[in-house]
Amino acid sequence: MSDTVAYEEKKLKIIGTRPIRPDGVDKVTGRARYGADINLPGQLFGSVYRSPYPHAIIKSIDVSAALAIPGVKAAITGDDFEDMPSQFIPVGEMVVNFRDMTRNVIAREKALYDGHPIVAIAAISESIAKEALKHIKVDFEILPHVIDVVEAMKPGATLLHEEQYTLIERKRLGSEPTTESPPKEPSNIAKRLTWEKGDIENGFSKAHIIIEKEFNTKPVHQGYIEPHATVATCTEDGQVEVYTCSQGHFVIRSQCAKLLGIEVSKIKVIPTELGGGFGGKNNVYLEPLAIMLSKIVHRPVKMVMSRNEVFRATGPSPAGHVKVKIGCDKNGNIVAADAQIDMQSGAFPGSPLPQATITCFTRYDIENVRVIGHDVTTNRPKVAAYRAPGAPIAAFGVESVMDELAEKLSIDPLDLRIMNAAKEGTQTYYGVTFPQIGFLETLKRAKAHKNYNIPLEKNQGRGVATGFWMNIGNDTTSSLNVNDDGTIALTIGTIDVAGGSRSSLAMMVAEEFGIDSDKVRVTTGDTSQLGFNFVTAGSRGTFAGGIVAILAARKAIEECKIRAAKTWNVPLDEVVWEDGYARPASSNVGGFDPLSLADIAKNATKTGGPIAGHSEKNVQGAGPGFGTQIVDVEVDKETGSVKILRHTVIQDAGKAIHPAYVEGQYQGGAVQGIGWALNEEYIYGDDGKLQNTGFLDYRVPVASDVPFIDTDIVEVPNPYHPYGVRGIGEVPIIPPTAAIANAVYKATGIRFNSLPLSPPKVLAAITKK
Amino acid sequence: MKRVKKMQYESPKSIDDAISLISNSPGNVRLLAGGTDLLVQMQSQVADPDLVIDIKNIKEMKEFKKEDGVYTVGAAVTGMEIIEHEEFGSDWPGVVDGVKLIGSIQIKGRASMGGNLCNASPAADSIPAMIASGASAVIAGPNGRREVLVEDFIKGPGKTSLKSNEILLSVKFPIKKPNSSGAYLRFTPRTEMDIAVVGVGINVTMSDSGICEEAKVSIGAVAEKALVVEDAATALVGNKITDEIIENFISKVRASARPINDKRGTVDFRIQVIGVIAKRALKMALERIR
């Protein structure tokens, strides 16, 4: 790859150590300022009237009674926003259509899900704003609704968008795909996407064994603890400032500019500390409403969602209906693989279908592959990215079938994966040929892991599964200033989504300079301070943020060498930078004492002025990530309760900059996967309303539900990162659902093809057996 | 023109003042102890009181005493005070089992057992245990005090036998019988921070020869309120606790459950699992006597 930064093997001092987290003290003492902690003088409070129906025509809206309440200052509806043309633009890991986005922020013709915003109010207090909502009158014409993805795909199903005709996209590796004519009738299927490689029919004809199964997964929420919160202020001359908790303030700025018709330069977005996002904070919800209200009332407007609003109206992951068919020869070599993935996109098109279809079989080297995906609109909130968006849904099916194949062929499930594993040079069906990757290493380490060999007792079972994520780089910027005492201020624009990337970036910069990492202070800049940064998504934060921080450091080091050369009055090429000092390249240069960063900084004024470096880059060369997980469960056969006894994550990090944060990502992803597998699900009533809009009935695992998650960091360097870093955030959530289902099979003899494996479902199956 | 109303807050120092406030205030009056139910209800706009009366500053409400073998637990005594009371825990372990399951440690630092009782949720964790222990509610009103068994205090979901001018003062436990013990167990999908899908409180008294002399069984989350299952108690009394007796006991428990299908569980699941949980609670109580 041309525009990449090469890996160099070298002796490391800082990288690989575990310094104390710089944002830790603020977080454990409550000083950290999250979205809802920001208050501006004179602010009003905004509140949103939401549709109580899953599908209804909005015939009229009457806000007069609400506006008559003393203290209520403004009310806005969809009519206050310009309509947008249908136009697809990539944002975050998803593609955004601004026609849909403006309708998702505030409804126009129809309410498309329970919780869809219809009116926003600004008032002098939260209680008055909430009271005002009760006096808003909307005349709805209630329509039939459709929640389930399979139902929504049936001919004759209730249509969300009467003008939606299925978009056909076909890709075939190495040759032109056969054409497929689009359907003539509108439907809820927004898109049909097909990937093909080789000859699937011919492949299956050579199979000794074929397993074909159907799977269902439920929508699950990202479950971030911090609800969406924003404060916006708009001045009379059209300058806008927005404080918000997001995964990418530059993207929030772009979306607000587009939706509100404001020039980008007039909007400044200031990021707050983030209390979790996991893909759910890549897009605007409240921000355009707060800006519009502020514009009308000439005062700042603060808006904070309740948990109920977060569940009803922000992005869960899609539900998926998945068919998987895999054929193997006698020895276990996969000869063909076929899948169909139907995904709920919610009220508007744009589920993570590309990611689900791309990751589906990728990690195995298969000659003949076909994956078909459908993006399906339903009366549910528009889905958002959720950690490895789409991939866990596909992997649940594929890894369950792999387990069954291994059993039927009497091959160890890890061995079956080892013999089919993708490696350097493997040609994927979506076009990429893998560079150096570490999948095989994770499988072999799993096979040898002590947790794979612990004897099990009655009612216990062990399952394995694997995961793959492409990882991304994208637009990233960083600015670095050497302070007058030789410490360093690094300004970054890619949000630390709480994974600890600020610390990891400080460590990489410290390694470059040869100083301690606590000499590098990392601050997240607002949108006026740096060039555009993409959202922190796709496991890019430490990888891409690291590359620009390193390049900025290298520029500043080069400048330091220039200053040393000036000081010594020698040519630049006679100065080297080593271990935090400018030194003469050899004894021939002269007997100069080495100059520390502090020495050079102190004299910077005399040698030309402040020293800095910066870097702006569309970062390329993200190293693909792979992982293998081993799970032991115990099933209470009297109650159907599944207990996770042991959970082991073995994953390639390329290089762990701060190993504790890598372990934290592995553990966090595994726990989210456990939640997805066991208890998390959106529960809708027949009325199409979401019934579990709080953490009491939406059951994210609590600490006592999970064992200590064991981790094993594999380090096969990414050739396109100076220290070998690969993104690691997404992969750990991919294997758990299948690994757990496979373990439950071993404990009960029952294969579960639908999630979650909640006690009533497990007990019913055990009783039936 | 509608004005947004303002809520009033009072913090009386005596029972009489509290009763006077509650008797003479028009509108919606709510009592506040730990506030772990009320504040959540207010936040989610389920409750919208005109007056909140904080009872925590009334001395009697915070009393936790044992006199002549009888425990009186003031209505505002917190869950953690109950959990940390070692002697109470050894006398009434089943009640402590129940109280321990009310939310997190932080919640229990504020939440009171009296509040759990007055909130009258069909799934309340302390109620079946209190019922099985033979506890009664001490109620104060303008005309003096009265006592009522906990099972009669609860009338339905969110409903108690408190009149609009009455206040729960305390919960009183009878003298503990020798050779007796109790347990409360529930089933939840999560291990903690969850709400009972089914719950069973049990108290048993055994003779030296291993015959069950007395038993009281209460089941929660399987009806509009916690039920007393007399048939299940009868199945145990007068018998050695054999596997056969336990099977009979389980079937009586299941027969008296009348749950509904909802987001927390199905009828079939609840009936199946309440028998399992009842069996485990019984074994736990017997183990504690040994």
Final residue in a domain of this structure, among A619, A645, A664: A619
Element (H, E) at A88: strand A88-91
Residues A650 and A763 in one domain: yes
- Distance (Å) from the C-alpha of residue B191 to the closest C-alpha of chain A? 6
* A1 pLDDT above the threshold of 70: no
Burial of residue A179 (number of CB atoms within 10 Å: 0-12, 13-18, 19+): exposed
Please judge whether B263 and A683 are an interchain contact, meaning their C-beta atoms are less than 8 angstroms apart.
yes
A interface test, pick of B190, B246, B267 with most A CB neighbours within 10 Å = B190
Q: Give the DSSP per-residue string, A572-626.
A: GGGEEEETTEEEESSTTT--PPPEEHHHHHHTHHHHTS-EEEEEEEEE--PPPEE
User: Is residue A455 included in any domain, yes or no?
Assistant: yes
Residue B256 main-chain phi, psi, to 5 deg: -90, -10
Which of A:574-613 have CB within 8 Å of B? none
Render pLDDT for A60-78 as a digit per residue (tens, 0 to 9).
999 999 999 999 999 999 9
Quick check: A416 and A400 in contact, CB under 8 A? no
Average pLDDT, chain A: 96
Which of B:169-228 have CB within 8 Å of A? 187, 189-195, 197
Residues A734 and A631 in one domain: yes
Name the residue facing B269 among A691, A692, A760 (closest C-beta): A760
pLDDT at B35: 96
Q: Give the DSSP per-residue string, A366-422.
A: -SSEEEEEEEEE-SSPPP---SSTTHHHHHHHHHHHHHHHHHHTT--HHHHHHHHB-
pLDDT at A715: 98
Residues A614 and A628 in one domain: no
Could you give the angle at the alpha carbon of A541 between the alpha carbons of A535 and A542, nearest 5°?
170
Place of tokens 């870097």: A615
Residues A433 and A511 in one domain: no
Quick check: A298 and A126 in contact, CB under 8 A? no
* A90 pLDDT above the threshold of 80: no
- Distance (Å) from the C-alpha of residue A704 to the closest C-alpha of chain B? 6
Please judge whether A68 and B268 are an interchain contact, meaning their C-beta atoms are less than 8 angstroms apart.
no
pLDDT at B2: 56
Residues A464 and A529 in one domain: no
Question: Which residues of chain B make contact with A635, given a CB cutoff of 8 A?
Answer: none
Which of B:84-143 have CB within 8 Å of A? none
User: Is residue A577 included in any domain, yes or no?
Assistant: yes
Q: What is the 3-state secondary structure (H, E, C) of A234-283?
A: ECCCCCEEEEECCCCHHHHHHHHHHHHCCCHHHEEEEECECCCCCCCCCC
pLDDT band at B26 (very low <50, low <70, confident <90, very high): confident
Name the residue facing A699 among B45, B189, B266 (closest C-beta): B189
Q: What's the average model confidence in pLDDT over A554-577?
A: 97
Quick check: A721 and A505 in contact, CB under 8 A? no
Render pLDDT for B59-111 as a digit per residue (tens, 0 to 9).
999 999 999 999 999 999 999 999 999 999 999 999 999 999 999 999 999 99
Question: Which residues of chain B make contact with A759, given a CB cutoff of 8 A?
Answer: 187, 189, 197, 269, 273
- Which residue of B lies nearest to A761 if distances are taken between CA atoms? B269
Final residue in a domain of this structure, among A619, A637, A670: A619
CATH code for the part of the protein at B8-54 = 3.30.43.10
User: Is residue A642 included in any domain, yes or no?
Assistant: yes
Cα dihedral value A655, A660, A661, A666, nearest 10:
80
The residue ranges of every structural domain in chain B are 8-54, 59-173, 180-289
pLDDT at A589: 84
Final residue in a domain of this structure, among A619, A639, A664: A619
Query: At a CB cut-off of 8 Å and minimum separation 6, what does A175 contact?
Result: none
**Side-chain half-sphere CA neighbours of A335 within 13 A:** 17
d(CA A735, CA A399) in angstroms, rounded, equals 8
Helix A391-408 and helix A413-420, axial crossing angle in degrees, nearest 10: 110
Same fold, B59-173 and B180-289: no
User: Is residue A530 included in any domain, yes or no?
Assistant: yes
Question: How far is the first Cα of chain B from the last one, in angstroms, to the nearest whole number?
Answer: 69
Render pLDDT for A415-445 as a digit per residue (tens, 0 to 9).
999 999 999 999 999 999 999 999 999 999 9
Residue A515 region, left (φ>0) first, then alpha (ψ -120 to 50), else beta? Answer: beta
Question: Which residues of chain B make contact with A69, given a CB cutoff of 8 A?
Answer: 1-4
Please judge whether A69 and B193 are an interchain contact, meaning their C-beta atoms are less than 8 angstroms apart.
no
Burial of residue A92 (number of CB atoms within 10 Å: 0-12, 13-18, 19+): buried
Question: Which residues of chain B make contact with A678, given a CB cutoff of 8 A?
Answer: 189
- Residue A406: which CATH number? 3.30.365.10
Q: Hey, what amino acid is at A654?
A: G
- Distance (Å) from the C-alpha of residue A760 to the closest C-alpha of chain B? 6
Helix A501-513 and helix A541-568, axial crossing angle in degrees, nearest 10: 30
Residues A490 and A612 in one domain: yes
d(CA A70, CA A73) in angstroms, rounded, equals 8
Q: Is A640 in CB contact (< 8 Å) with chain B?
A: yes
d(CA A388, CA B93) in angstroms, rounded, equals 46
Q: Percent of chain A beyond pLDDT 70?
A: 99
When mean pLDDT is compared across A24-28, A122-126, A179-183, the lowest value belongs to: A179-183
Q: Is A699 in CB contact (< 8 Å) with chain B?
A: yes
- Among residues A123, A93, A381, which one has the least CA distance to residue A248? A93
* A706 pLDDT above the threshold of 60: yes
Residues A594 and A530 in one domain: yes
- Among residues A563, A567, A616, A623, which one has the least CA distance to residue A590? A567
User: Is residue A15 included in any domain, yes or no?
Assistant: no
CATH architecture label of B180-289: 2-Layer Sandwich (3.30)
Quick check: B57 and B75 in contact, CB under 8 A? no
Render pLDDT for A579-590 as a digit per residue (tens, 0 to 9).
999 999 998 888
Quick check: A19 and A503 in contact, CB under 8 A? yes
pLDDT at A92: 54
Please judge whether B1 and A70 are an interchain contact, meaning their C-beta atoms are less than 8 angstroms apart.
yes
d(CA B274, CA B219) in angstroms, rounded, equals 8
User: Is residue A263 included in any domain, yes or no?
Assistant: no
* Alpha helices per DSSP H over A409-485: 413-420, 439-448
Please judge whether A699 and B3 are an interchain contact, meaning their C-beta atoms are less than 8 angstroms apart.
no
User: Would you mind telling me the total number of residues written for chain B in this entry?
Assistant: 290
Q: Percent of chain A beyond pLDDT 90?
A: 96
Question: Which residues of chain A make contact with B264, given a CB cutoff of 8 A?
Answer: 697
d(CA B95, CA B221) in angstroms, rounded, equals 17
User: Would you mind telling me the total number of residues written for chain A in this entry?
Assistant: 769
Render pLDDT for A230-273 as a digit per residue (tens, 0 to 9).
999 999 999 999 999 999 999 999 999 999 999 999 999 999 99
ipTM: 0.94
Longest C-alpha distance within chain B, in Å? 76
Task: Give the strands of the sheet with A189-197, arranged side by side.
Answer: A167-172, A189-197, A369-377, A334-346, A320-328, A209-217
For B59-173, the fitting CATH number among 3.30.465.10, 3.30.930.10, 3.30.300.30, 3.40.50.11890 is 3.30.465.10
Name the residue facing B265 among A128, A699, A760 (closest C-beta): A760
Three-class SS state of A167: strand
Q: Is A308 in CB contact (< 8 Å) with chain B?
A: yes
Residues A612 and A672 in one domain: no
Q: What is the 3-state secondary structure (H, E, C) of B164-224?
A: CCCEEEEEEECCCCCCEEEEEEEECCCCCCCCCCEEEEEEEEECCCCEEEEEEEEEECCCC
Quick check: B121 and B206 in contact, CB under 8 A? no
A interface test, pick of B3, B104, B269, B274 with most A CB neighbours within 10 Å = B269
User: Is residue A485 included in any domain, yes or no?
Assistant: yes
CA-based R_g, chain B, Å: 19
Query: At a CB cut-off of 8 Å and minimum separation 6, what does A380 contact?
Result: A54, A113, A147, A219, A316, A344, A346, A347, A682, A684
Helix A759-768 and helix A736-748, axial crossing angle in degrees, nearest 10: 30
Residues A672 and A750 in one domain: yes
d(CA A87, CA B94) in angstroms, rounded, equals 63
Q: Hey, what amino acid is at A127?
A: S
On the question of a cis peptide bond just before residue A455, with omega within 30 degrees of 0, the verdict is no
Three-class SS state of A7: coil
- Burial track A510-526 (b if 16+ CB lie within 10 A, e otherwise): bbbbbbebebbebebbb
Number of compact structural domains in chain A: 2
Three-class SS state of A90: strand
pLDDT at A94: 59
The domain in which residue A530 lies consists of 24-32+473-619
Question: Which residues of chain B make contact with A679, given a CB cutoff of 8 A?
Answer: 189-190
Residues A614 and A533 in one domain: yes
d(CA B199, CA B20) in angstroms, rounded, equals 37
Residues A517 and A480 in one domain: yes
* A365 pLDDT above the threshold of 60: yes
Q: Is B266 in CB contact (< 8 Å) with chain A?
A: yes
* B5 pLDDT above the threshold of 80: no
- Which residue of B lies nearest to A678 if distances are taken between CA atoms? B189
How far is C-alpha B190 from the geometric centre of its chain's CA atoms? 21
d(CA A200, CA A435) in angstroms, rounded, equals 26
* A89 pLDDT above the threshold of 90: no
Please judge whether A704 and B192 are an interchain contact, meaning their C-beta atoms are less than 8 angstroms apart.
yes
Please judge whether A699 and B194 are an interchain contact, meaning their C-beta atoms are less than 8 angstroms apart.
yes
Quick check: B205 and B177 in contact, CB under 8 A? yes
* A274 pLDDT above the threshold of 60: yes
pLDDT at A96: 84
Quick check: B220 and B200 in contact, CB under 8 A? yes
B interface test, pick of A45, A48, A131, A689 with most B CB neighbours within 10 Å = A131
Burial of residue A40 (number of CB atoms within 10 Å: 0-12, 13-18, 19+): middle
Quick check: B229 and B203 in contact, CB under 8 A? no
Please judge whether A131 and B268 are an interchain contact, meaning their C-beta atoms are less than 8 angstroms apart.
no
pLDDT at A441: 98
Beta bridge partners of A192: A168, A374
Average pLDDT, chain B: 96
C-alpha pair distances (Å), A571 with each of A472, A563, A592, A624, B113: 40, 11, 14, 42, 81
Q: Hey, what amino acid is at B227?
A: L
- Among residues A481, A478, A483, A474, which one has the least CA distance to residue A529? A478
Residues A688 and A630 in one domain: yes
